[in-house]
Amino acid sequence: MLDAVSALFFGNSIKLLQLYPFINVEMQAGSTSAYFWVSTIITLILWGITCGITFENPVETFLNKILSDAKAHSAVETQLTESKSEVLDAMFETIEASSETLAQVKDLMCNVRTEAREIQPLRESIDSMKADLGSLKKDFKRIQENVIFSKVCPACGKSLMPEFNMCPYCGESIRPLHAPVLTVKNYR
């Protein structure tokens, strides 16, 4: 446009069109005022496009879109974090309750160990009593055999009660001993 103003108002030659050989031939055929009006219209169109881009900045629009997407994403993440926070709180409460339960179990185990230590001597005395009872049963059985079953079958060797005259096991007849048994004192 400056070249068109200098050609129209100051009478200078058109220099810009020399860069474009095809347009130069056509514009040289036209008047300087036509060149001025064409360059003015083109300048206004380009200036309008520039202003449109400036006022409707695509970079700013792009950045605003990114920021709005980031805010929306941040809101979603905040919501997810809050829901996960609730899960973490529930896990913490569960762990805390489990910790209390474990402490109670530990106390119970200590009580059981203490009671087991107190029971151990009782168990030993019960085992000793069982052993004594076993030996008493053997002694009682031996005494019972000697007192109650004082006869022995000469044929089969089984112990018999003194009132039996015949062995119930083998059927052998048992004769009573008529000879008195002498004690050692009387033998001398």
| pLDDT confidence of residue 184 | 52
Taking the CA atoms of 171, 175, 176 and 180 in sequence, report the sign of the dihedral they define: negative
What are 142-162's pLDDT values in tens digits?
776 666 667 888 899 888 887
Answer yes or no: is pLDDT of 134 > 70.
yes
91 and 141, same domain (yes or no): yes
pLDDT band at 179 (very low <50, low <70, confident <90, very high): very low
Does the reported pTM lie above 0.85? no
| pLDDT confidence of residue 164 | 84
187 and 167, same domain (yes or no): yes
135 and 171, same domain (yes or no): no
Mean pLDDT of 50-58: 76
What are 105-114's pLDDT values in tens digits?
999 898 888 8
179 is a domain residue = yes
The CB density around residue 39, as the number of other CB atoms within 10 Å, is 21
Answer yes or no: is pLDDT of 41 > 90.
yes
Tell me the range of 28-32, 128-132, 143-147 where mean pLDDT is highest. Answer: 128-132
- CB under 8 Å to 103, separation ≥6 — which residues? none
122 is a domain residue = yes
Angstrom distance (rounded) from CA 58 to CA 64: 10
96 and 142, same domain (yes or no): yes
pLDDT band at 185 (very low <50, low <70, confident <90, very high): low
92 is a domain residue = yes
115 and 86, same domain (yes or no): yes
Domain that includes residue 90, residue range: 82-147
76 is a domain residue = no
125 and 167, same domain (yes or no): no
113 is a domain residue = yes
CA 69 from centre of chain: 36
| pLDDT confidence of residue 119 | 79
Mean pLDDT of 6-17: 79
> Domains in the chain: how many in total?
3
Angstrom distance (rounded) from CA 119 to CA 81: 55
pLDDT band at 35 (very low <50, low <70, confident <90, very high): confident
Tell me what the pLDDT averaged over the chain comes to: 81
Residue 156 in contact with residue 170, Cβ under 8 Å? yes
Q: Which region holds residue 47: left if phi is over 0, alpha if psi is between -120 and 50, else beta?
A: alpha
What are 59-103's pLDDT values in tens digits?
778 888 889 988 888 888 888 888 888 888 888 889 988 888 999
Angstrom distance (rounded) from CA 1 to CA 36: 7
